[in-house]
Structure 1
Amino acid sequence: MDVKWMIQQVSSKIIKPSIPTPSHLRTYMVSLLDQLTVASYIPVALFYPQNKSSNQISQILEKSLSEILTSYYPFCGTLSADGNSVECNDKGASFSEVVIKCPMSEFIKETNVRFQDLVFSNKLAWGNSCPEDYLLFVQLTHFECGGKALSFRISHRIADACSLVNFLTDYATLNAALLLSDGGHAVYHERPSPQFIGASLLPPTNGRPSPSFTKESNEGVVCKRFTFSGKSLAQLKALVAAEDDDLLYSSSGTNKPRYITRVELVTALLFKCAVAATAKACPQLQGSTLLIKPSNLMQVANLRRLTTPQLAPNVVGNWYTYMDLVVENEDQMKLSRFVKELKKEKLELKERMKKYYNGCSKNDLSKQVVENDEKMAVRYEKDVYLCSSFCGYPLYEIDFGFGKPIWTILGSVYTEKVFFLMDNPEGDGVEALVTLEEKVMSLFENEEEISTFSSFI
């Protein structure tokens, strides 16, 4: 599809904080986890229906962005060449405005996820974050019907999903207040209070280059979005529980039903079907006794929820670790086993985090972080899959003053063996962004459990 004629640039500006960053805050040291995070962007877009809000939406969005950046001052700085710090020099954030010449309803129905990347400010939504680039990109997209999309690309070197959602929530709250005042002075009920304390908790080290997330060439790699409705997940949950009695009741021996989460179900299903499809696409395995390729799943987990005491949600930066799921042979390919192992790994991870955060030294914690990073470093050489979930984050509650979004998406990604999970608009299902080799994807789509429990959008 030729899309050049469909998009028209309206404006492109650099938004600086409304108040200069004080001299004592001019250098922001990142944490070790920030330092080891892939040098990419996190791209999120929110779609809003037509409404009768102010006709000065873009001007007010620019003004509120300028004001919110005074609290999130590292987001408008410059990443150092070695990646150890951000120079908070008020370089600014990129703000662009475009028009897409089609109704939003047609845009949302489009099954080509690359086409939907038009709402982002760069052709490659995730992209690689370089020191000379802006750390934050915002784009306001207008559709013919009057609907609009707001997209954000934040450097993953300084923020994770939790940090981005907190920023969007604070930005939206301020913008809504400005809209109510018709662009005048906004009244805060509570000022944003992000904490930039990562380096004090987990200091960076020298000489650790950050890996890039995207390949120079995306040839042979396909990204597609699959949706799992609440109804289909209920059916899948019943199937999994029937497959293994241990998943019917809690391990305490009581008759209390064991809770299986949406994320556990979908993660297990995607991993199982991807491993099966990869085996079918591999000629070397045909007729062999191995049947599948030994594979690992690295599931991203939010560290803030795992520490004792818990880290505050407003601690900015990358605070994540991994849960590790392994499959080595055909006998381990039951879906119930994958769900069970994910639950087991989650409990063990909580215990490990208690150990590392209860009186451990920063060196001990740094060692654990580096070990996790080394596991991820080999994923490009082995059959290692990565799964990250945005489920549970209140993206559908983010109201900039013109209502709540009717849909939220992540930009398409073209690093293979990656799954990203998002809430569906109804809040009871999951939308999964799946990236696989083209020959594997065609087999993956036809796996019985994928075709039965999901729809391709």
Structure 2
Amino acid sequence: MKVEIISKENIKPSSPTPCHLKTYNFSMLDQFIPNVYAPLLFYYPNDHDGNNGISRALERSIALKKSLSNTLTQFYPLAGTINKNQLSIDCNDVGANFVCALVNRRLDEFLSYPDYRQINHFLPFEPSLDGSTPSDHVLNVQVNIFECGGIVIGFCVSHKIFDGAGFSTFLKGWTNMACGAKEVVCPNLNVSSLFPAKELLNGGRYIIANYGSFLRKGNFSTKRFVFDSQAIALLKTEAAKNGVHHPSRVDVVSAFVWKCAMAASKEARGVKKPSLFVHTVNLRRKLSTKLSKDLLGNLIWFSYALCPTNYEPTLHGLVNKVRQSISKINNEFVDQVQGDEGHVALVKSLKEMEEIGTNETTDCYYVTSMCKMGFNETNFGWGKPSWVTSNICNDIPVFMNLICLMDTKYGTGGIEVWVNIDDEEMKILQGNPELLSYASLDPSPLERQLHITSNFAPHFTTRNMDKWDGRKPYDQVLKNPGQIASGMVLERFAFHPKHGVAKHIWAIQKPYQIMFSTAFRKALRFCPK
């Protein structure tokens, strides 16, 4: 696959930024965030047949430039550059870096079986731990146009400017502008007045304390585990029956993956190690101000839970540990941080975490959730994305154990879990039968409409999958007839959260031929619509 850059330009705000707004000051919370770029990618298929797909996509890229220019008038810090002192942004209207590229492949072919090694090619540049320099753009966008007219929009945004929720606010503003919506999103850019920056925090010392304990040297792998709503319901039931009160889907999925990761580490190293689980917490809901929803900036802090070697991990036990750690980041904590000595509480929290994390015998996992941020609703006027991803950190000398949670596109309540861990541990993790009984490993993000052409079709329903015990041939246990609806999602009827039927799906290949294990191929025959 070849990605060819055809244009680069700076998109400036449609109206100049007034003189009194030329400096955007970072907050105290921003000071704890490293000066690196946060990536995010949105995949838009071309739903129209015809030979003018590329032409239509090029027209859409031109429209994106115009709507971005109008949006930057409200989000003017994104058109600036970070000052040398890293305490502020010079809102000089340099503009956002906007790149357009052509890809010599169909988007549906790529999404049928995504090659994670290629994903970073859709970004304006590959993010690294080196960070950005004062002359770099705050916002970078690359529009990738595929042969079919499908589009992938890749973002690299300085993490100094905002977190995931802030990114969502910006995208809402841009998409509203692109679609001509009446609502104009006006971000609240006064976070520095709530959390004033402290000069003594500058210099990167506490950034190193925050992230340094998570960095490791060696080879590592990235895999994606997809939990559908039924699987998550089973995990929630399991936790609830052991005393957890109303566990959330993020609670149970993150704790379950932590449990499986600890098991992989123990098997790979031959010894059980203490495990530190650090979770990002959104502070917006804990602020007293009513304007917290659209606050731009990094309004996050970090909770941490420790699993010592003498603790036998269970799902409900780990859920309780995670919830207890998050509960400490409450309204009282936020009020304390907003005070004159607020930085003292933050530094104390980091030192406590650092004392545990810097121990070489401790496994550290950094967890972030982008669930319920609305990224799957990002519609620039030609439909919602079929997939949303972050970057894949391949071929760099250092890495961190990173777990990222994102909403699934299809269905309601599902979660995609992107896991970056040591290569040896990943080989064990991806073969964990307990994990695979609840999650499917790297399935295609595409939803395909299929017709079942065998006589067995009237007896194959999602409801009856609960009767399968994982051993008998499927046609011996499905007794109740039921017609499969045209357009039913493949994963809905080929995946059982308890018995892991989805692991029998090998690939989706052009022209959308489904390849099953021998037992499935004998029972069913599929063809594209």
Q: TM exceeds 0.5?
A: yes
Supply the AA of the counterpart residue of 1:402: W
Q: How far has the Cα of 1:324 moved from its partner?
A: 1.7
Alignment correspondent of 1:266: 253
Alignment correspondent of 2:223: 224
- Indicate yes or no: 2:407 matched with 1:423: yes
Alpha carbons of structure 1 residues 380 and 139: separation in structure 2 relative to 1, 3 Å: farther
Match of 1:454 among 430, 439, 447: 439
Structure 1 CA distance for aligned equivalents of residues 409 and 358 of structure 2: 33
Instruction: Look up the SS of the partner of 1:64 in the other structure.
Output: helix
Alignment correspondent of 1:167: 170
Q: How far has the Cα of 1:307 moved from its partner?
A: 2.6
Q: Is the 8 A contact 2:42 2:152 kept in 1?
A: yes
Instruction: Look up the SS of the partner of 1:453 in the other structure.
Output: coil
Alignment correspondent of 2:285: 305
Specify every segment of 5 or more residues in structure 2 that has no aligned partner in the other structure, as ranges: 49-55, 443-529
Supply the AA of the counterpart residue of 1:168: L
Instruction: Look up the SS of the partner of 1:20 in the other structure.
Output: coil
Alignment correspondent of 2:324: 344
Alpha carbons of structure 1 residues 373 and 113: separation in structure 2 relative to 1, 3 Å: farther
Q: How far has the Cα of 1:232 moved from its partner?
A: 1.8
Q: Is the 8 A contact 1:113 1:225 kept in 2?
A: no
Structure 1 CA distance for aligned equivalents of residues 60 and 380 of structure 2: 10
- Indicate yes or no: 2:14 matched with 1:11: no
Instruction: Look up the SS of the partner of 1:115 in the other structure.
Output: helix
Q: How far has the Cα of 1:293 moved from its partner?
A: 1.0
1:194-205 residue pairs with structure 2 within 5 A?
A: 194-205=187-198
TM normalised by structure 2 equals: 0.74
Supply the AA of the counterpart residue of 2:16: P
1:238-292 CA-to-partner distances (Å, cap 9, x unmatched) read 33334x1x12xxxxxxxxxx42211111110111111221122224x2xxxxxx2
Match of 1:394 among 374, 394, 411: 374
Structure 1 stretch displaced more, 367-376 or 195-204: 367-376
1:107-146 residue pairs with structure 2 within 5 A?
A: 107-124=110-127, 128-146=131-149
Structure 1 CA distance for aligned equivalents of residues 182 and 368 of structure 2: 33
Q: How far has the Cα of 1:148 moved from its partner?
A: 1.1
Structure 1 CA distance for aligned equivalents of residues 358 and 74 of structure 2: 38
Aligned length: 421
Structure 1 stretch displaced more, 319-328 or 366-375: 366-375
Match of 1:189 among 161, 182, 185: 182
Q: Is the 8 A contact 2:29 2:298 kept in 1?
A: yes
Structure 2 CA distance for aligned equivalents of residues 79 and 148 of structure 1: 30
Alignment correspondent of 1:183: none
Structure 1 stretch displaced more, 84-93 or 411-420: 411-420
1:240-279 residue pairs with structure 2 within 5 A?
A: 240-242=239-241, 244=242, 246-247=243-244, 258-279=245-266
Structure 2 CA distance for aligned equivalents of residues 147 and 218 of structure 1: 37
Structure 2 CA distance for aligned equivalents of residues 171 and 40 of structure 1: 23
Match of 2:94 among 58, 66, 91: 91
Structure 2 CA distance for aligned equivalents of residues 261 and 217 of structure 1: 31
Q: Is the 8 A contact 1:321 1:372 kept in 2?
A: no
Structure 1 stretch displaced more, 61-70 or 306-315: 306-315
RMSD: 2.5
Alignment correspondent of 2:199: 206
Alpha carbons of structure 1 residues 222 and 375: separation in structure 2 relative to 1, 3 Å: farther
Percentage of matched positions with identical amino acids: 28
Match of 1:38 among 34, 38, 48: 34
Structure 2 CA distance for aligned equivalents of residues 126 and 166 of structure 1: 25
Q: How far has the Cα of 1:430 moved from its partner?
A: 0.7
Supply the AA of the counterpart residue of 2:345: Q
1:405-454 CA-to-partner distances (Å, cap 9, x unmatched) read 11111112363211111001123211111111111111222233222211
Q: Is the 8 A contact 1:14 1:92 kept in 2?
A: yes
Q: How far has the Cα of 1:127 moved from its partner?
A: 6.5
Q: How far has the Cα of 1:311 moved from its partner?
A: 5.2
1:169-222 CA-to-partner distances (Å, cap 9, x unmatched) read 110111122xxxxxxxxxx62332111112211111225234487999975122
Match of 1:433 among 418, 428, 432: 418
Alpha carbons of structure 1 residues 310 and 330: separation in structure 2 relative to 1, 3 Å: farther
Structure 2 CA distance for aligned equivalents of residues 138 and 202 of structure 1: 29
Supply the AA of the counterpart residue of 1:456: L
Q: How far has the Cα of 1:118 moved from its partner?
A: 2.1
Q: Is the 8 A contact 2:240 2:246 kept in 1?
A: no
Structure 2 CA distance for aligned equivalents of residues 442 and 37 of structure 1: 32
Alpha carbons of structure 1 residues 390 and 375: separation in structure 2 relative to 1, 3 Å: farther
Structure 1 CA distance for aligned equivalents of residues 73 and 295 of structure 2: 16
Instruction: Look up the SS of the partner of 1:259 in the other structure.
Output: coil
Q: Is the 8 A contact 1:228 1:429 kept in 2?
A: yes
Structure 1 stretch displaced more, 102-111 or 205-214: 205-214
1:85-113 CA-to-partner distances (Å, cap 9, x unmatched) read 11111111111111222221222233532
Instruction: Look up the SS of the partner of 1:222 in the other structure.
Output: strand
TM normalised by structure 1 equals: 0.85
Structure 1 CA distance for aligned equivalents of residues 351 and 97 of structure 2: 34
Instruction: Look up the SS of the partner of 1:331 in the other structure.
Output: coil
Alpha carbons of structure 1 residues 37 and 373: separation in structure 2 relative to 1, 3 Å: farther
Match of 1:60 among 63, 87, 110: 63
Supply the AA of the counterpart residue of 2:364: V
Structure 1 CA distance for aligned equivalents of residues 40 and 262 of structure 2: 28
Specify every segment of 5 or more residues in structure 1 that has no aligned partner in the other structure, as ranges: 178-187, 248-257, 286-291
Alignment correspondent of 1:238: 237
Alignment correspondent of 1:79: 82
Alignment correspondent of 1:281: 268
Alpha carbons of structure 1 residues 361 and 399: separation in structure 2 relative to 1, 3 Å: closer
Supply the AA of the counterpart residue of 1:45: L
Alpha carbons of structure 1 residues 239 and 448: separation in structure 2 relative to 1, 3 Å: farther
Q: Is the 8 A contact 1:308 1:354 kept in 2?
A: no
Alpha carbons of structure 1 residues 36 and 349: separation in structure 2 relative to 1, 3 Å: closer
Greater Rg over alpha carbons, structure: 2
